[in-house]
Chain A
Amino acid sequence: MLYREAGDFKTSYQADSQTFPIAFDRWRYWAVLVIAFCVVPFFVNAYWANAILVPFLIYAIAAIGLNILTGYCGQVSLGTGGFMAVGAYACYKLMTSFPDVSIVIHIILAGGITAAVGATFGLPSLRIKGFYLAVATLAAQFFLVWMFNKVAWFYNYSASGQITAPERFVAGVAVTGPNTAPWAQYMICLVFLTVCALIARNLTRGTIGRSWMAIRDMDIAAEIIGVNPLKAKLTAFAVSSFFIGISGALFFAVYLGAVEVGEAFGIQKSFLVLFMIIIGGLGSLFGSFAGAAFLVLLPVALKVIGVDVLGWPTDLVAHLQLVIVGGLIMFFLIKEPHGLAQLWRLAKEKLRLWPFPY
């Protein structure tokens, strides 16, 4: 009954273009923020942080990044894993080269470096579209992983070829390294996710977002209206890679702590993030969250149900998970190409009229 726009009049264009035009949505948004920032950190334990919350937060950043490129600007990319690796290795090199600088600055810089790399690999998008572009970004994926394996400078000539995050502090609290408290991991990822989501929201609702969507929907008409395709596509690649780089840096430094590039940032990662935005919803920020939550929770839920409740062997459940994810992707592509976000939107439209649909 609260979910109404009736009587919620807008008297300025400012109010009309806000993120959540319906009052109920605004309250819920603030409630989620308050719970995420003020309640969860006090209750989070190592299992919840490691299995669910931290990966969700990090993947949500990556999904927002990829959604900007693929969902908003219409450029398919299979290079997400490679770009996450760029963020991780950039962060590692910065952390070890400038140990006195704050890790927060390192992570942001790692995003910036990834943005530059992403824009470079985005150059082919000016000539090729669709599948062909996907293949070109696939080349980026393999090239980057190969490079981080091959060039010893990137992993500081360590014998194992791995990179390991040294201990770093924010405001006196360890956020990387073995002594990090779960709540500290959670908080730093949450802060980055919140800021990234706000930036993404601001960009997508404004001029630049409209030029991305214009390119996505009809590039010829976009050009005739004054969208410079070069600028629009490269900014999409850059902004998208910025977010993906940040998520890669967090994934390495905060979540895993030690990384071997082929394992952590291989092609599976690219597909995982792509599945997130397909299941969550292309061209929707909410979809990025929903998709990330779904694909992070699914294995956990399946394990709890399959192994703990039903007592099935672990490997069976692991294989079942692949089958279910594959089936779901086909289901979504056929039934609802706009993903969970669209289901949510439809539910809201129904709710608005409920209980008197006429």
Chain B
Amino acid sequence: MDGVAPYVTADGRQIGGVLMDMRGITLRFGGVEAIKNISFDIREGEIRAIIGPNGAGKSSMLNVISGFYHPQDGEVWFRGEKRPPMKPYQVARLGIARTFQNIALFEGMSVLDNIMTGRLTHMKTGLLAQAIWKGKAEAEEVANREVVEKIIDFLEIQAIRKTPVGRLPYGLKKRVELARALAAEPKLLLLDEPMAGMNVEEKEDMSRFILDVNDEFGTTIALIEHDMGVVMDLSDRVVVMDYGRKIGDGTPDEVRNNQEVIDAYLGVAHE
């Protein structure tokens, strides 16, 4: 898989070299092996899907990438360097942002504040400068606000910027969470079931935003999703997991025709 030449997709997007490389990841919780010796890579500029039945270990995989879990075995390579075991906030500083399966927004804060919090890794002023506010802190606040406002425009949530997040409906919360992740200007964006619990219209909106993010900002995206139609339409390559093992990897068409994948999803006939 390494050393694959950059290429241009049919719809004209540039896919570069390997951005993130997971090598032989094994993750155990006590006696349970959640992930069994899985390797896959994510290439720059692509949309990479991770699919699999419930309990396959997909979310655990994302948690390994974002530093919540530390695998017992295996190596995580990011941008050509082996990543030492890191805390989640250190991973965030590397330029990896994510959303959660069940929304993890800051309910007590406004939409704007939530998204501004996403800019945290870009904020540099010290405690004293912030206490004085006038000058450095204010300038930084305004500069970052401009970036945030662009994202607010991009995701079409201008009208709710001052609304407390707790008052928003589900679909909008998902969108705000995406905005918060985007505010970090990540190199790699991890989306854990971005369309769970949405109706068709909301799914279409979300798909459009994901494609636009990838297209306009060139952000590499790794996503977990259960809606096969969405996965097959959006992603460039798909990893399929089942019971912690990798059972398929390739373009949507390859995966769709993979017998093992079909067995995992549809079951095997017993004679």
A→B interface (CB under 8 Å): 12-14, 16-17, 199, 202-203, 205-208, 210-211, 213-214, 216-218, 220-229, 235, 239, 283
Q: For the complex, give the distance between the alpha carbons of A214 and B88 in Å.
A: 14
Q: Provided the pairs A223-B88, A226-B184 are in contact, do residues A210 and B116 lie with their beta carbons within 8 angstroms?
A: yes
B→A interface (CB under 8 Å): 66, 68, 87-89, 91-93, 97-98, 100, 104-109, 113, 116-118, 120-121, 123, 125, 127, 130-133, 137-138, 140-142, 145-146, 149, 180, 184
Q: For the complex, give the distance between the alpha carbons of A13 and B149 in Å.
A: 10
B133 touches A202 (CB 8 A): yes
B130 touches A225 (CB 8 A): no
B88 touches A206 (CB 8 A): no
The closest CB in chain A to the CB of B88 belongs to A223
A207 touches B123 (CB 8 A): yes
A206 touches B109 (CB 8 A): no
Within the complex, what minimum Cβ distance (angstroms) separates B99 from chain A? 9
Within the complex, what minimum Cβ distance (angstroms) separates A228 from chain B? 5
Which B residues are in CB contact (< 8 Å) with A14?
138, 142
Q: Provided the pairs A213-B106, A220-B104, A223-B88 are in contact, do residues A206 and B145 lie with their beta carbons within 8 angstroms?
A: no
The closest CB in chain B to the CB of A14 belongs to B142
Rank and list the top 10 A-B pairs by shortest CB-CB distance, nearest first: A226-B92, A221-B104, A217-B106, A202-B133, A226-B121, A207-B123, A13-B145, A223-B88, A210-B117, A206-B130
The closest CB in chain B to the CB of A210 belongs to B117
Q: For the complex, give the distance between the alpha carbons of A307 and B118 in Å.
A: 56
Which B residues are in CB contact (< 8 Å) with A218?
104-107
B180 touches A225 (CB 8 A): yes
Q: Provided the pairs A13-B142, A224-B88 are in contact, do residues A207 and B120 lie with their beta carbons within 8 angstroms?
A: yes
Q: List 18 A-B contacts (CB under 8 A).
A: A12-B142, A17-B141, A202-B137, A205-B133, A206-B137, A208-B127, A210-B116, A216-B106, A218-B104, A220-B88, A220-B104, A221-B104, A224-B68, A224-B91, A225-B120, A226-B89, A226-B93, A235-B127
Within the complex, what minimum Cβ distance (angstroms) separates A91 from chain B? 21
A225 touches B145 (CB 8 A): no
Q: For the complex, give the distance between the alpha carbons of A207 and B140 in Å.
A: 10
A207 touches B125 (CB 8 A): yes
Which A residues are in CB contact (< 8 Å) with B127?
203, 208, 235, 239
A17 touches B120 (CB 8 A): no
The closest CB in chain A to the CB of B144 belongs to A207
B117 touches A214 (CB 8 A): yes
Partner of A210, one of B88, B113, B142: B113
Within the complex, what minimum Cβ distance (angstroms) separates A213 from chain B? 5
Q: Provided the pairs A17-B145, A225-B92 are in contact, do residues A217 and B120 lie with their beta carbons within 8 angstroms?
A: no
Q: Provided the pairs A217-B107, A223-B88, A226-B92 are in contact, do residues A202 and B131 lie with their beta carbons within 8 angstroms?
A: yes
Q: For the complex, give the distance between the alpha carbons of A16 and B158 in Å.
A: 14
Q: For the complex, give the distance between the alpha carbons of A205 and B133 in Å.
A: 9
A223 touches B120 (CB 8 A): no
Partner of A225, one of B117, B132, B146: B117
Which B residues are in CB contact (< 8 Å) with A283?
108
Q: For the complex, give the distance between the alpha carbons of A210 and B116 in Å.
A: 8
Q: Provided the pairs A17-B141, A213-B109, A214-B106 are in contact, do residues A224 and B131 lie with their beta carbons within 8 angstroms?
A: no
Q: For the complex, give the distance between the alpha carbons of A176 and B251 in Å.
A: 78
Q: Provided the pairs A208-B127, A210-B113, A211-B120 are in contact, do residues A223 and B141 lie with their beta carbons within 8 angstroms?
A: no
Within the complex, what minimum Cβ distance (angstroms) separates B85 from chain A? 15
B133 touches A210 (CB 8 A): no
